[in-house]
Amino acid sequence: QVQVQESGGGSVQAGGSLRLSCSTSGYTDSYNCLGWFRQAPGKEREGVASIYTGTGSKYYEDSVTGRFTISQDNDKNTVYLQMNNLKPEDTGVYYCAADPGSYCYKPMDPSDFDYWGQGTQVTISS
């Protein structure tokens, strides 16, 4: 059973930075697609960024391109989301998700991801 655990949320003012971490375990596949999603109150869950752990290929949703960076640890089971120049519209619950044994596809579709963390709150004040 794949397990996914996020950490690192919090509250900062606009223009600030946060770094989210996602630790995963329990894979039987060597390479996987790991992604970050977010959900603002009253809105649907949307993709933010994803990384294919086999090649390190990355995808970013247009609204975060140039501000967010997804990266992986050497063990390829831990991914990070560095978020800079944060805006109030970045506020929401951020989820890490895993799609074992799969390439990453765009646009990101939550239904492609089988395992999810519990989410971590990110709040950006103006």
Q: Which tens digits make up the pLDDT trace of 76-100?
A: 789 999 999 999 999 999 999 999 9
Q: What is the pLDDT of residue 106?
A: 87
Mean pLDDT, range 36-62, rounded to an integer: 96
User: For 19, phi and psi rounded to 5 degrees?
Assistant: -125, 125
Cis-peptide, bond into residue 107, ω within 30° of zero: yes
Phi-psi region of 92 (alpha: psi -120 to 50; beta: other; left: phi over 0): left
Decide if pLDDT at 115 tops 90: yes
Report the amino acid identity of residue 49: A
For the stretch 11-34, pLDDT in tens is 999 999 999 999 999 887 778 999
